[in-house]
Structure 1
Amino acid sequence: MNGLKKFVECYNIPMRNLVKPWVPTSICTTCRLTLINWNDMKKEVVITPTMWYEPKDHNEDCYFCACDITGCNKKNKGNILYSYVQSVTPAKKGKIARLDKVPPNKHECSLEEMSSIESEKDSDYEDSVSAKDPELFDQDSLDDLIRDLILSKDSAELLASRLKERHMLLPGTKITAYRRRDEEFLKYFSSENSLVYCNDIEGLINTYQVDVYKSDDWLLFTDSSKERLKAVLLNNGNKYAAIPIGHSTRRKESHEDLQFVLEKINYNIHNWFICGDYFKMINILVSLQSGNTKNPCFLCIWDSRAREQHWIKKKWPERFDWKVGSNNVVYKSLVDTKRILLPPLHIKLGLIKQFV
């Protein structure tokens, strides 16, 4: 519904001076519903709208400044006293007449006058009554929506199908494209012994943007649970999204399984910094014995058995000797200990105060 045309049709009064700053540019919901249901309204409504004229004196003739609404709220808004100024003619209420019975008056305007009135509207004026046409999805905007909702292939195709049923897609937008959205990246992944891993990490990252991969800009995050073992690349500064490069639902957090994962993702070539979610994973990477051991720390020779020294001795010898069989070292270390980063969450929570 065009608000200006409906207003003139109901009240037979043209709207002028729409570009003036003292003219309101919106109507309330009650007035909007009155215009829409004009012929069906049975109760008293506004039959003569408020007429606005240009104020001659702002101090004495400004309608908004003359009304004192201090302390007024939703409950006592009926007690507001509106001032009578020369620049505003108050509205009148009464029973409305049907549009087909309204006699012509001196304010009625022709179609030519209506077109001239429409041309006077300011370019920034927004008619709050008129409804906007729905904005249809093209292929790019639909892809962005599905990516933001993190939908699977089946869910993405279902959403696109429902939007097409309701004519919400532009012509040429494909809904079956999501069935093959992973084919572009399949060549970068392989599967061996229940492990799915990335065989060309540099090529995978450069698929998104050419020459963006530098090993120093990425961290290797490893984590495991009772159900899965995973390896993920994290970008320094979070400029790019995390990239999963290893996943298994059968392998566990053990020295042999982590060694197999690091070999398949070619860690010795990329030599990323490593961060783990907890110290058990870090101890496995540096090949320390698990469990309640005497020297569990990979940074120093802290003696868990010397309880009498825990509250007295502050500095413990740094761990330099990684000889297998000494100080709870059971295997050769899988990574360089200098390439291991302590979990920042544990530092914030104060769980590893002896290291910071």
Structure 2
Amino acid sequence: MPFGIPMVWTDPGNHEVDQCYVCVNKVNGLNRFKARNFRNKSVPSAQTPLLHSENVPIPKLPSPGENYVPPSFDFASESHSLYQPSNITLPCKHIECTQNRLDMMARQLKLSQKRQVVLAQHLKSLNILAPDVKIYGALGRQREFMKYFNRNDENTFAHWNNISGLMAANGNEYNAADWRLFIDASKSSLKSVLLYIDNTKSPIPVSIHTETDENKESMQKIIDAIKYHENLWKVCADLKVVALLRGLPHKGYPKNMCFLCQWDTRYANQYQKRDWPARETIRIGHQNVIYEPMVPMETILLPPLHIKLGLVKNCNKFFVD
């Protein structure tokens, strides 16, 4: 390089004209001819480069035969030294992630099987996984739970067969009073799961029924398969599922559609009247009851958020139409 010391910039602090590099070196009115003889001036906050001279000589490359002289340092005497060496040797081996720890991380982060594979690949690239960890082992992590479920020959209906074993495999202590049965359908299947009372534990799948919708036969099949009357969980569901479980029709425009009271939908002032008599007895053929209820009345719980979302969805459909 033609200069020995490069341009040095420091913090100028408060702006002052005589200490500002831009204000001191005014370039207004310079052309290519005047710029040849223009020399930038140094200020306390900006030191222009210094060319090589006697005070700033060009450094020389040491010869191969020249001996290297290490620098010497003055250490404090042992009597004044504050450093006390320790006799404890710390281990240098890093902590490896085992297969059980990787599975636990995936459960806590609620990762799917494909996302767990991606996580394992990243940890493998960082050399954190143990040698016996399988990258694609998550693709079959449901195999240890398959023994707790039964399925039909058509492979359209599956339900559990050992509730105590399934709870123990998930690390939970089973108490029927602490769990709620939730039943709901999607476009492709009808599912039922157990929800913990305060949502601090993961939901436990109970059954799944494909190629069907919400009707009396599918509900009765689920209730019988999971042995509901042996556990008597509290039931959380929307109004359609509750009507099916209580023996009421879920299609058309029935006269008495509410499972709680005798609300008459044919009454002219039905929306002005607020107090309706409660349903005290259930008789087939009376007040739109078409079959025996599947669950007791005292086990029904209405999830407000789930029902509110359903009402908003129907309202949006009405606005679109």
- State the TM bucket, normalised to the shorter chain: 0.5 to 0.7
**Cα distance change of structure 1 residues 221 and 172 upon mapping to structure 2, 3 Å threshold:** same
Amino acid at match of 1:182: Q
CA distance in 2, matches of 1:120, 1:94: 44
CA distance in 2, matches of 1:171, 1:110: 47
CA deviations on 1:281-319 (whole Å, 9 max, x unpaired) are 1111111012211000000000011022431x3211110
CA distance in 1, matches of 2:131, 2:15: 54
In the TM superposition, residue 263 of structure 1 has moved relative to its aligned partner by: 0.8
SS in structure 1 at match of 2:143: coil
**Cα distance change of structure 1 residues 223 and 46 upon mapping to structure 2, 3 Å threshold:** same
In the TM superposition, residue 145 of structure 1 has moved relative to its aligned partner by: 4.2
TM-score (norm 2): 0.65
Partner of 2:296: 336
Partner of 2:161: 199
Partner of 1:287: 247
SS in structure 1 at match of 2:291: coil
CA distance in 2, matches of 1:326, 1:243: 37
Match of 2:259 among 267, 284, 298: 298
Amino acid at match of 1:247: I
In the TM superposition, residue 325 of structure 1 has moved relative to its aligned partner by: 0.8
Partner of 1:12: none
**Cα distance change of structure 1 residues 232 and 349 upon mapping to structure 2, 3 Å threshold:** closer
Matched, 1:190 2:190: no
CA distance in 1, matches of 2:261, 2:224: 28
Q: Which ranges of structure 1 fall in alignment gaps of 5 or more residues? A: 1-40, 51-76, 82-89, 102-107, 122-132, 352-356
Larger Rg: 2
**Cα distance change of structure 1 residues 170 and 322 upon mapping to structure 2, 3 Å threshold:** same
SS in structure 2 at match of 1:305: coil
TM-score (norm 1): 0.59
Between the two structures, name the one with larger relative contact order (CA 8 Å, sep ≥ 6). Answer: 1
SS in structure 1 at match of 2:269: helix
Partner of 1:44: 7
Matched, 1:249 2:210: yes
Matched, 1:146 2:106: yes
Mapping of residues 49-198 of structure 1, within 5 Å: 79=14, 110=72, 113=75, 138-139=97-98, 140-147=100-107, 148=109, 150-152=111-113, 154-161=114-121, 163-165=123-125, 167-192=127-152, 194-198=156-160
Residue correspondences, number: 250
CA deviations on 1:117-148 (whole Å, 9 max, x unpaired) are xx979xxxxxxxxxxx9x87512553344332
Match of 2:176 among 200, 215, 229: 215
Matched, 1:321 2:281: yes
SS in structure 2 at match of 1:288: coil
**Cα distance change of structure 1 residues 167 and 350 upon mapping to structure 2, 3 Å threshold:** closer
**Cα distance change of structure 1 residues 113 and 178 upon mapping to structure 2, 3 Å threshold:** farther
CA distance in 1, matches of 2:101, 2:49: 49
Amino acid at match of 1:336: P
Amino acid at match of 1:44: M
CA deviations on 1:166-188 (whole Å, 9 max, x unpaired) are 53434443334324422221111
How many percent identity over aligned positions?
35
SS in structure 1 at match of 2:218: helix
CA distance in 2, matches of 1:143, 1:167: 17
SS in structure 2 at match of 1:308: coil
SS in structure 1 at match of 2:150: strand
Tell me if structure 1 keeps the 8 A contact 2:239–2:307.
no
